[in-house]
Amino acid sequence: MDSIAKAQHIIRKYYPRNHLWLASALGVALIIVTILVPDAPANGDRLRRDNTLTSQTGEAAAQRDATDPALIVGPTLPANSLVDAGAIDSRVNWHSLTVQPGDNLSAIFGRVGLSAQELYRIINSSDEAGILNRLFPGYELSFHIPEPGKLEQLQVFMSPLEGFVFTRQDAFYQVEPIQLTPDVVQVVKQGAIADSLFLAGQQAEIPASVIMGMADIFGGVIDFLMDPRSGDQFSIAYEEKYLNGEFIGTGEILGAQFINRGREHVAVRYQNTQGDVGFFSPDGESMQKAFLRNPLDVFRISSNFNPNRRHPILNTIRAHRGTDYAAPTGTPIRATADGTVTWAARNGSFGKLVVIQHNGSFETKYAHLNDYAGGIKKGSRVQQGQIIGYVGSTGGATGPHLHYEFLVNGVHKDPRTIVDELPQAISLDPKEMPRFLEHADQILKRFNETKPDGRLLTYTNTPSQAPDSE
């Protein structure tokens, strides 16, 4: 009783009489509302039951999700180890999204209405779940959420063909791979150069990656900056990949042919009996020369090899012992041949420099780099065409470009005219020739069946090259 009296005393002391009257009136009003208003929780339960029944109707569920622009209804994949993307379970709603720059898994789960507890369960389900901690922009995520807050299945596609599916098993998730097989179609397309190889490729509706691949194949015999002329022709046989009738990308280049200044060059992709793959001329000579002609794919030559050049900064006669390739900062730089990195650090006016020692007496230098490619350091082994760094303007450069030097027995040579001193191409083993010729005949037949006129694609397995014409 004493405690009650004390409480009453405190109330009267700290709360004025008019405040007490107001509190009493509010209490009475609350009681009246409680009595008169219908049971809201009961209605809420009924609504939830109605929604559950509606969600079990595939058409109704699809219509409901289709009205929400933030949700995309996707296909349901069966929970087996090799998922069939064509199977559709219309009873289940799928919410799909593409990972954007800056996204993280926690934010994505919150976006689709899933709790941190669900996130914890799935990332601790198995070792394969580590892929969820390494999400990259462009990954496709599809969430199977049959009822609010409950994740039944998650699909993660790193590419249109590969991914993982996480399927709820009691309180945890089972992880299985997704490996889809596309339909592969072989196509042959031709083009003719008017302005540039890349514009010709666009006009022929050939993907840029395929044009770049062709340039790599012929990189040892054609200088695609200096050699191509208006009127040159080319033809490429390559694979196109389709999934459920939709184009998803290109596959291997099977063969290519290029007529440059009247001279015909043909390359055929061949896998030998040991499993090694390369491109060869119809008579079995490797298209991969010991050195690429250029270390950049896109560039213009801003300064040639010149032993009497006037230095642009020092204004003195100073030998320019290499070729300068002007290109935007960040343009990838490729090793022109296999070799070992003997220097990957700053070096005076060269700025950031990479030096590669090749077989025997050959050495190449790449200067003014903005940065080095991952793994490039002294002692690293590199392969022809491997990215070793990126164009910059470090050291004494006046603007972004690559300074490229070529040395033979320690003597500087003009990188643009060194071709005659480069090692010769390696031919196929004679034991491989019958098998190769049979394979090459099939590619050459495809070329000749699709030639646009009598001039293009005349190669056979007893080739005769046309003379140069200017």
Can you give the CATH number for the domain in which 387 is found?
Answer: 2.70.70.10
What pLDDT is stored for residue 83 in this prediction?
A: 38
Would the pLDDT of 247 be above 90? yes
Residues 270 and 355 reside in one and the same domain = no
Q: Residue 175's domain spans which residues?
A: 58-179
What pLDDT is stored for residue 24 in this prediction?
A: 54
Choosing from 128, 154, 179, the residue where a domain stops is 179
What pLDDT is stored for residue 81 in this prediction?
A: 33
Whether 44 is covered by a domain: the verdict is no
Residues 255 and 350 reside in one and the same domain = no
Whether 464 is covered by a domain: the verdict is no
Whether 72 is covered by a domain: the verdict is yes
CATH for 83: 3.10.450.350
- Cβ contact 114:153 at 8 Å: no
**Structure-block tokens of residue 281:** 């001329």
What is the tens place of the pLDDT at every residue in 66-80?
333 332 222 333 333
Task: Compute φ and ψ for 313, nearest 5 degrees.
Answer: -100, -45
Whether 454 is covered by a domain: the verdict is no
Residues 327 and 260 reside in one and the same domain = no
Residues 68 and 132 reside in one and the same domain = yes
Q: Which residues contact 436 (CB under 8 A, 6 or more apart)?
A: 268, 270, 272, 280, 284, 428
Q: How many CA atoms lie within 13 A of 125 on its CB side?
A: 26
Q: Write down the mean pLDDT value for the chain.
A: 77
Whether 337 is covered by a domain: the verdict is yes
Would the pLDDT of 431 be above 80? yes
**Structure-block tokens of residue 168:** 């709820």
Among 99-103, 141-145, 316-320, 321-325, the range scoring the smallest mean pLDDT is: 316-320
Residues 205 and 310 reside in one and the same domain = no
Whether 455 is covered by a domain: the verdict is no
Residues 189 and 99 reside in one and the same domain = no
Query: Which of 118-127, 259-268, 372-381: highest mean pLDDT?
Result: 372-381
Residues 255 and 315 reside in one and the same domain = no
- Cβ contact 373:389 at 8 Å: yes
Residues 29 and 65 reside in one and the same domain = no
Would the pLDDT of 248 be above 50? yes
Whether 252 is covered by a domain: the verdict is yes
What pLDDT is stored for residue 72 in this prediction?
A: 28
Domain count across the chain? 4
Residues 342 and 268 reside in one and the same domain = no
Whether 468 is covered by a domain: the verdict is no
Q: 202 or 36, which is more confident?
A: 202
Among 128-132, 193-197, 224-228, 275-279, the range scoring the smallest mean pLDDT is: 224-228
What percent of the chain is modeled with pLDDT above 70? 71
Q: 62 or 257, which is more confident?
A: 257
What pLDDT is stored for residue 316 in this prediction?
A: 64
What pLDDT is stored for residue 424 in this prediction?
A: 64
E-strand ranges in 261-400 read 263-271, 277-280, 300-303, 323-326, 332-334, 339-346, 352-357, 362-372, 381-382, 387-391
